[in-house]
Structure 1
Amino acid sequence: MITAIKNNSLLDFENELSLILNTYSDEIEKAKKIIMFIEDILKQLSDWLKNHAFETVQDEITFFKEVKPNIVAKLIFYKEVLLLIATQPIDKNKKVKHFEKKLDSINQFHRKNREFIKYIKSQSTQFDELYFTRKEYKDLILNDCIVINQDAKLCTSHDYLLAKVIAYELLALHVENRIDNLNKSCSIMNIQFNSNLHWTAKKVDLIELIYALHESKVFDNGQADIKEITHVFEKAFQIDLGDNITRSFIDIKNRKSDQTRFLNQLQDALETKIENDLN
């Protein structure tokens, strides 16, 4: 497996990870086994990196941009999951708040690192050599502060940050799913709708609309939860938005242009209707 990873292939790693996931049913035990597995992999990679010189700059970029961050991301993710489980309260309502607080911190992280996330999402490469190669002398102002206390042979200025980006996207989906499960007993889930309307636009368009309504505080004087609003729309328009709410909103935020694309289309359509009626 290590040989495959050294050759910039994550296939063996993902296969081993799947084996562990399928072997253990207990969530805590599963997370602990995965953490031990990944830490062992990273220790072996660290020993290798201390004496390794990549044949080309592109090989080094590929390793620190595509291979290592995806391994470290899984470690961050499962450590976060363990911490969430260990610190969750007993009361159900308090559990929901517990997980919502984690979602808030994830969103804060995304806001803080918005430009870097845009760089990654847009598949840009112009700063790859700066971000994802090991150089003995770099402008520390450009570096993530965490690398100052790390061995420069083992990391670059941004590979750990990229790992956190990947991990937090996984964590956001995980936390949203937990909140969904906790809210299943809420009365909103049992509301019966008689409408035959079906949402036929894109799911991401509906998600954009839901977030706009939530942020406008038009329901319950702004006290309505985003999940509650989402469930109402799912029931009303017979659509399953799944676990992709937060992830889709992250994609909306990271659009290069026209971030409120669907809302702009709605405004244009209504203005056109008004103009046509007046003529």
Structure 2
Amino acid sequence: MIIEPAKARLVQLDEDLELFDEMGIPAGQKLNGKLNSIRQAIADLKTLLNQHPFSSTDEEIQFFKYVKPQFIARQLFALDIFTIETGKPVDTAEVIKNYFEQELKYTVKFHDQNKFMHQYYLFDGAELDALLFVRNVQPPSSLIPDAQSFDPEFSTAGDYVFARFIANEWVQEFLTDRLYSPEETERLSNMTKKKVTLKWTGDAINLAEMAYGIWLTGQINQGNAGIAEIVRCLEVTFQVSIGRPFRRWQSISSRKRVSQVKYIDQMKAAILKRLDDEYA
């Protein structure tokens, strides 16, 4: 099985990338260090694939749908952030804010241009996995109009676009953090405290489940609100610290499959019980 050693290599890569973030080195030097680490990790991933051939089509799909895109997404994200930071104008706060808002629109535009695939990604579709995540299979051009040309033995039609979606989520989170400065967050928080007395007293991870449910079902701004925006709104509204959405998602996805959304399941059970009691 290649999945477990590949995930272990991803954990090691994240530790390497965090070290570069902690170093007080120039942006260009940091980017080069990160890219070298990512390239080495991808090379190691190829080696693992040679050492552990897929035992089934299901394993191949899992690798190219969930594992490899995580490595490529880190590469795309590092390049995106470097480009955004080095392109940031030296100007007024308003001009810089407009710049970040424009960058945010680029990620939304990519999702609009790949609307079907983005919905497939968000809702974790499975019907087309054999076309998108099995090697040497060519899906209809209507699914992926701008398919990338990569090593056919280490790529599928859909793994790159899934990596792009993952990277875009991180870019959206990064840009949202820049658009909503700590000072602005504190101001909104103080305003909220004056108007309401609601405070979240449950576990913060439960609110994170709700945030992802709201985001993945597109309930706010016609589905255009980012997960970081939703999390920040809930934090201000309920006077609670949820933390970084990506870290919370890792905690949720690492749970056992039967209980990955414990709080949402608990809410559903409570509502159904209330309805059953009323009908009775």
TM range (shorter): 0.5 to 0.7
Q: Using a 3 Å threshold, how does the CA distance of structure 1 residues 198 and 34 change in structure 2: closer, same or farther?
A: same
TM-score, normalising length: structure 2: 0.63
What are the equivalent positions in structure 2 for 1:126-205 lying under 5 Å apart?
A: 126-135=127-136, 139-140=140-141, 142-147=143-148, 149-181=149-181, 184=184, 194-198=194-198, 204=211
Q: Aligned-pair distance for 1:80?
A: 0.3
- Name stretches of at least 5 consecutive residues in structure 1 with no aligned partner: 216-226, 249-279
Counterpart in the other structure of 1:105: 106
Kindly provide the CA deviation profile for residues 60-114 of structure 1, in whole angstroms up to 9, marking residues without a partner as x. 2122111111100010011101111110112232221111111111112222323
Counterpart in the other structure of 1:60: 60
Task: Report if aligned partners of 2:77, 2:170 keep a CA contact under 8 Å in 1.
Answer: yes
Task: Report if aligned partners of 1:64, 1:159 keep a CA contact under 8 Å in 2.
Answer: yes
Counterpart in the other structure of 1:85: 85
Aligned length: 227
Q: Aligned-pair distance for 1:206?
A: 9.5
Task: Report if aligned partners of 2:70, 2:166 keep a CA contact under 8 Å in 1.
Answer: yes
Distance in 2 separating the partners of 1:53 and 1:234:
45
SS where residue 75 of structure 1 aligns? helix
For 1:22, give the aligned amino acid.
L
Q: Using a 3 Å threshold, how does the CA distance of structure 1 residues 136 and 172 change in structure 2: closer, same or farther?
A: closer
Kindly provide the CA deviation profile for residues 229-261 of structure 1, in whole angstroms up to 9, marking residues without a partner as x. x87x976764567666xxx9xxxxxxxxxxxxx
SS where residue 136 of structure 2 aligns? coil
Distance in 1 separating the partners of 2:131 and 2:142:
12
Q: Aligned-pair distance for 1:121?
A: 2.9
Counterpart in the other structure of 1:265: none
SS where residue 145 of structure 1 aligns? coil
What are the equivalent positions in structure 2 for 1:1-279 lying under 5 Å apart?
A: 9-22=6-19, 24-26=22-24, 28=27, 29-45=29-45, 54-91=54-91, 92-135=93-136, 139-140=140-141, 142-147=143-148, 149-181=149-181, 184=184, 194-198=194-198, 204=211, 211=220, 238=239
SS where residue 36 of structure 1 aligns? helix
Counterpart in the other structure of 1:218: none
Task: Point out the more displaced range, 35-44 or 52-61.
Answer: 52-61
Kindly provide the CA deviation profile for residues 152-181 of structure 1, in whole angstroms up to 9, marking residues without a partner as x. 223111110000011111111111112223
Task: Report if aligned partners of 2:31, 2:79 keep a CA contact under 8 Å in 1.
Answer: yes
Q: Using a 3 Å threshold, how does the CA distance of structure 1 residues 183 and 95 change in structure 2: closer, same or farther?
A: farther
Higher RCO (CA < 8 A, seq sep 6+) = 1
Task: Report if aligned partners of 2:199, 2:238 keep a CA contact under 8 Å in 1.
Answer: yes
Identical pairs, percent: 20
TM-score, normalising length: structure 1: 0.63
